[in-house]
Amino acid sequence: MSLWEEIHICIQHLKIGYSDIMTMPTGERRFHLSLLIKKNVEQEEKKEKNSKKTGKGKRTSTISGDALKTQIKSGNVPLN
């Protein structure tokens, strides 16, 4: 990542002023950037995990409408 990209990210996402960034030691600036990256990765993983949980379920078999009606009439499928 170039210095200009680091400056942009610090200003845009960390809300650090330009003069503060320029006087900040490189190690400290990169520490803050690594924390931001770590936080974003964790949020993305959490988002992926939650999106997998909200599925509607897996269909184990398919059945036509007529076959379903027949099974309901015969009492094989509970209506509750």
Taken as a whole, the chain contains a residue count of 80
Per-residue pLDDT reduced to its tens digit, 22-70: 999 999 999 999 999 999 999 998 888 877 665 566 666 677 888 878 8
Q: How far apart are CA 13 and CA 69, in angstroms?
A: 58
73: amino acid identity, one letter: K
Per-residue confidence (pLDDT) for residue 71, from 0 to 100 = 80
Q: 23, 21, 25: which is closest to 6 by C-alpha?
A: 21
User: Which sequence spans correspond to the domains of the chain?
Assistant: 1-52
Residue 21 has pLDDT above 80, yes or no: yes
Q: Helix or strand or coil: residue 17?
A: coil
Report yes or no: 67 and 77 within 8 Å, Cβ to Cβ.
no
* More confident position, 28 or 1: 28
* pTM, 2 dp: 0.58
